[in-house]
Amino acid sequence: MFLAQIRLRAEEKLEHQEGILRLIGGDSLTPSRAWMDEIAQQAEEPEESERTKQQPQPEDENSVSDEPDPVAEDPLARYRTMLKVGVPLPAVERQMRKNGINPAALNGSVLEESPEVEATATMATTERRKWHWNEVAAADRAPPPPNGSVWTRDDEEDAHQRVTALSQARIQELFVREIGRSVEGDERDSLVSMTSETEVALIAQRPSWSVKTEKIQVMKGTKGTNLEFVVSRLKFPFAKVAQDVNILTAMYLQDTDIKTILAMWPSVAEQVLLDEYAGDFNELGRCEQFLVKIRSIPMAKEKLQCLLLKLELQSRAEDLKQLMELVTRALNQICSSSKFGEVIRLLRDFGNLANEEFVANYRARFSLESLLNLSHTKAFDKKTTIFDAFLYLLRTEKDGNLANFYDEIHLVMQCKGVSVGGLTVELGQLREGHQLVKSVAIASSKSSDKDAKLAHDAFNQFADEIDDKLRGVHESFDKMEESHRKFVSWFEENPNVQLDQHLKAIAQFASDVKDRFAVLNFCL
């Protein structure tokens, strides 16, 4: 019975060896006895042969040593063998680091390992969750004020002392852990914004107005319908409307009506048809009659644009001035707030602690746009974000006196709906309107008829009114630009980056802190 089991195992081994020979293309499918003996001794011979090869020949009686020569042994042979049998390269490199060998030696770039290199090549025992903050390049950075910027108020060497040991331990607990150690705690669902698809509302077209068949229509379709709606609201004869537009006295027109007329202005082909019509005026439709009368005055479209500007000038200039002054006061408030400056520097120290960059790569500043990235990094508990951890510091550091910093910069939160770029565009449009009014006045002066003279006087007077309004707006704009320059210098920001991005980051950060503390019912 015992002999039968031995033969059965030998047959299985022979079948396995025959399969190997088929794969490698051997000359014979039947293994020889010598080959069998060689396989049987494979596990023993390499070890013995290595010992005999590595055994040094004694030079004299006192030089005999049982230790193998480390120079004769290739320390990389083991790892090259691992690569040949299919072990992934990252796993091999990890094992090399664990054994104190630099993985770069596999490529031949490291010929000799020194103790210092071996010490630095040891495998890391901890891992971190870092705050990925940005820093303005030195070449793009605005020069700081003569008395220093917000970043230079604290000494770089005292960075560790500015954050209490309790807060540092909290940071280590959240964002640092040993490799392979799991963190207890329930996983929280990822914060995915569940936005529903917006439904696009279909704008119903107005029903076509009934038009008598005997009337001649040039403006058809949507243009004719919209113009008909505007014209039907006019309570004055078309000739009077044209005369009042010529001298900018048609103030009874609504701004929406003028915008509709300009948007539905006849095309070149439609204007040719209106100009070539020589029939009875009363046979034209109401839209066509209005267009014939209004186009009888020189530069009719340009004068309608000037009339629209006259209707809107007061409100547009006043709104523009107020918004510019709001931005100016918000910038001045940010730069003068001592609490916000301390919060920014505390956040810098927090980031250096979380990223372990105090020793070798201390970050002295960060871009304000990084304030928008605070919620992007989560701790190992998968619940706490960088923002949550920093709120803890605000409540514990400096006895919690910094937690209400948003009260000192409340104006910036009022700027969340303000576009500084839009203010600049609006100012440019007012300037263009001013130039248009002056060009119409100049064109009217070239004619000697009575209506042209009246138009020249009216547009000249309106140009002076615009100049007075824009003078005050320009003063507000210059003050805002000056505050902007001080702002980028105080924070050493890139002056080429739009101010909207910086204000958005600060306003969002302050608003989030205020809302979170309100939820937590944190009373100062």
pLDDT in tens, 103-150: 777 765 444 444 444 444 455 566 666 666 767 777 777 888 877 787
317 and 228 share one domain: no
Token code pair at residue 170: 């909290």
Same domain, 450 and 320: yes
Residue 84 belongs to what domain range? 77-104+112-122
Q: Do residues 231 and 215 lie in contact, with contact meaning Cβ atoms separated by under 8 Å?
A: no
Percent of the chain with pLDDT strictly greater than 90 = 40
Residue 196 lies in a domain: no
Residue 232 and residue 319 in one domain: no
Single-letter amino acid code for the residue at 422: G
Confidence at 217, pLDDT banded by 50, 70, 90: confident
Shared domain for 319 and 251, answered yes or no, is: no
Could you report the per-residue pLDDT of 317-350, keeping only the tens digit for each?
999 999 999 999 999 999 999 999 999 999 988 8
Tell me, what DSSP letter sits at residue 374? Answer: T
Instruction: Give the per-residue pLDDT at 159.
Output: 61
Count structural domains, the chain.
Answer: 3
Decide if 175 is inside a domain.
no
Assess whether 316 and 444 both reside in one domain: yes
| Size (the chain), residues | 524
Is residue 494 in some structural domain? yes
| Shared-domain flag, residues 515 and 430 | yes
Alpha-carbon span 459 to 451, nearest angstrom: 12
- Sign of the Cα torsion 266, 270, 276, 280 reads negative
Using only the alpha carbons of the chain, give its radius of gyration.
Answer: 42
CA distances from 174 to 215, 377, 390 (A): 80, 11, 11
What is d(CA 326, CA 318) in angstroms, rounded to the nearest whole number? 12
Burial of 332 (0-12, 13-18, 19+ CB in 10 A): middle
Predicted confidence at residue 3, as pLDDT, reads 55
- Inside any domain, residue 354: no
Show the tokens assigned to 376: 């992007």
The one-letter amino acid at 437: V
- Residue 261: pLDDT above 90? yes
Cβ atoms of residues 440 and 302 within 8 Å: yes
Find the mean pLDDT for residues 425-439: 96
Contact 493, 367 (CB under 8 A): yes
Mention every residue, 6+ apart, whose C-beta is less than 8 A from residue 382: 183, 185, 187, 188
Verify that 420 and 502 share a domain, yes or no.
yes
Residue 216 three-state SS: strand
**For the segment 283-314, what is each residue's pLDDT rounded down to a tens digit?**
888 999 999 999 999 999 999 999 999 999 99
The token pair that represents 259 in the structure block: 């915008």
More confident residue, 291 or 24: 291
For residues 99 and 238, membership in a common domain is answered with no
Q: Do the domain assignments include residue 287?
A: yes
Distance of alpha carbon 305 from alpha carbon 226, whole angstroms: 18
Task: Say whether both 460 and 319 belong to one domain.
Answer: yes
Mean pLDDT computed over 233-245? 93
The answer to whether residues 452 and 507 belong to one domain is yes
What is the rounded distance in angstroms from the CA atom of residue 164 to the CA atom of residue 394? 12
CA 277 – CA 274 distance, rounded (Å): 5
- The Cα 228–Cα 252 span in angstroms is 18
Dihedral angle computed from the Cα positions of residues 135, 138, 142 and 148, in that order, rounded to the nearest 10 degrees: 90
Which residue stretches of 298-446 are H helix? 300-336, 338-355, 386-396, 410-414, 420-444
Domain boundary among 95, 122, 149: 122
Query: 73 falls in which pLDDT band (50, 70, 90)?
Result: low
Query: Does residue 134 sit within a domain?
Result: no
Residue 146 in tokens: 């003569």
**Which residues are CB-contacts of 147 (< 8 A; sequence separation ≥ 6)?**
none
Backbone angles phi, psi at 75, to 5 degrees: -70, -15
Residue 205 lies in a domain: no
- Residue 176, SS3? strand
Q: Lowest-confidence range among 122-126, 173-177, 501-505?
A: 122-126
Is there a single domain that holds both residue 275 and residue 318? Answer: no
Specify the DSSP element, H or E, that contains 177: strand 176-178
Position 4 scores a pLDDT of 57
Say whether both 316 and 451 belong to one domain. yes
| pLDDT given at position 129 | 66
- Collapsing DSSP to helix, strand or coil, 506 comes out as helix
Residue 502, domain member (yes or no): yes
Final residue in a domain of this structure, among 122, 153, 185: 122
Coil, helix or strand for 249? coil
- pTM greater than 0.95 (yes/no): no
pLDDT at 298: 93
